[in-house]
Amino acid sequence: MKKTSTLVDTFARDSLPVAELQPDFIFELPGLQFAERINCATELLDKNVENGLGEKTALIGSDGSWTYSQLMSASNQIAHVLVEDMGLVPGNRVLLRAPNNPMLVACWFAVLKAGGIAVATMPMMRSRDLVPVIEKAEITLALCEDELKGELVEAASAADTLSHVLFFNGHSGPDAVEVLMKEKSTAFNNIDTASDDVALIAFTSGTTGVPKGVLHFHRDVLAMAVCFSEGVLATQADDIFIGSPPLAFTFGLGALVVFPMYSGATAVLLEKAGPEPLAKAIERTGATVCFTSPTGYRGILEQIDHCDIGSLRKCVSAGEHLQVPTFEAWKAATGLRLIDGIGSTEMIHIFISAIGDEIRPGSTGKAIPGYQACVLGSDDKPLPPGQSGRLAVKGPTGCRYLADERQKKYVVDGWNVTGDIYHMDSDGYFWFEGRGDDMIVSAGYNISAAEIEDVLMDHPAVVECAVVAAPDSKRGHIPNAFVVLTADHSATPELEQTLKDFVKAQIAPYKYPRRITFINVLPKTDTGKVQRFRLREISAADFGRVG
């Protein structure tokens, strides 16, 4: 008989979408047959120590390395602080705020050990971004890096629920986590959570401007390791993981905490992970597995003459569409084939990908082990190969929004519908055509923003670009390309016409960008995703001024 939940604070469980609004879940892989009682901190951290890996390096940070034993001891002490000094009871939400560093990982594990629910936030979030997160998740407790306290203190004064905040890494005072830790035991009895108790609430990175909170269980955290780290990457204990995504982004949580610890491997944590420091850290640490965006890989290519990145064995690209020129440039420079993948906060991590000889440049790949995927038509039925529609997926993880009406839109007949437009070929490979809100209808023609972007990226003057729909009095909407130029090219009317003609020569002429806006940098989220809604706002404002 299943034990009753150990949760005292039942807010998260009570906030789950009703059963009929949740997606179908699939647990066909042997590794997904989870026990009824699981605490993922036990599975990912404590068991490595129990299995003799206590003295192995778990984390490499800017101030040194932490072994698995050191990480477990620190996490246990912080768990005591949470319970004894902050009054945490199982089910409480704890906001975490810090750049990627070992202390943040220790805090994350401590929350789970104590039966709490981790709500990690992007370091660049401001108080106005933090307030709706605090209020929506009814967060009462927070652990925060000292240098980031200003925005959180301001948010706490505006939010009613947040009552107790402690600071770490540089804070000197009675409310410093390190001060309170010193008096605590390095042993802690992890709370006996259920596999379907909520472990974390992941808030979307905000490409739409309206964040959503997604409830993920303890089993979900382990499922992403079973399906992608084990099922696709086949990572080993001698791997050293590195990457740019923040741990508050589930892409980063998987890449830099869950995957390495599931394999008993090592992770390198960078507080600032731009292309130059990332490339230098690869050389310094001998990293073997890298996770970043296509933009990140293009940036690393600019550093390749100054840094030896030859230790890399596998490179995973996600967060935005991987264009063929980036794939080919990386392969030519390193001999490695970039592993593309699509994931989402709603699904917790990557669910379509391919590796090695299975990679087809330009395609995202196939549904990974444990997942099923299809393309849905306007009638919400799967389409045959070759036809474009909405990407839909199901597997051991899925969308459970926290008190959000958008649950009804994301889950359709048991499928998680991601908002991406794809077609599937006869071999089961999925080919990206654009986001659903990036398909441009111009004078009756459907135009894929991604197709235009792929062509523009082939031009030597273009570093980055993004295409959105711009209002037009005659055609309804037109493609507006926002283009970042290389240093040796200048924004001129002549170059604008050259780029338009270049696109016309490559794809159907009606698809060319009728407006090109040169821009110094594309607006992006903390995770590197282009904020297309901001570009649409610029396009609409320009139309208003012209009109």
Q: Confirm whether 215 is domain-assigned.
A: no
Question: How high is the pLDDT of residue 1?
Answer: 33
Q: Confirm whether 132 is domain-assigned.
A: yes
pTM (2 decimals)?
Answer: 0.85
Taking the C-alpha atoms of 126, 128, 129 and 132 in order, what is their torsion angle to the nearest 10 degrees?
A: 150
pLDDT band at 205 (very low <50, low <70, confident <90, very high): low
DSSP 77: H
Strand boundaries in 182-250, DSSP class E? 198-203, 213-217, 240-243
Query: Which range marks the domain in which residue 89 is found?
Result: 63-193
Cα–Cα distance, 241 to 264 (Å, whole number)? 11
Report CA 185 to chain centroid distance, whole Å.
34
Q: Confirm whether 306 is domain-assigned.
A: no
325 pLDDT above the threshold of 50:
yes
Q: Confirm whether 294 is domain-assigned.
A: no
Which pLDDT tens digit goes with each residue over 390-413?
Answer: 999 999 999 999 999 999 999 999
3 pLDDT above the threshold of 50:
no
Cα–Cα distance, 207 to 141 (Å, whole number)? 27
Which pLDDT tens digit goes with each residue over 337-392?
Answer: 999 999 999 999 999 999 999 999 999 999 999 999 999 999 999 999 999 999 99
CATH number, domain containing residue 90: 3.40.50.980
Q: How many domains does the chain have?
A: 2
Percentage of residues in the chain with pLDDT exceeding 90? Answer: 79
Question: How high is the pLDDT of residue 172?
Answer: 82
Which pLDDT tens digit goes with each residue over 486-529?
Answer: 999 999 999 999 999 999 988 878 789 999 999 999 998 877 78
Rounded to 5 degrees, what angle do the CA atoms 271, 272, 274 make?
150
CATH number, domain containing residue 520: 3.30.300.30
Q: Confirm whether 540 is domain-assigned.
A: yes
Cα–Cα distance, 366 to 245 (Å, whole number)? 23
Mean pLDDT of 61-80: 97
Q: Confirm whether 136 is domain-assigned.
A: yes
Mean pLDDT of 43-65: 97
Which pLDDT tens digit goes with each residue over 419-445?
Answer: 889 999 999 999 988 777 677 877 666
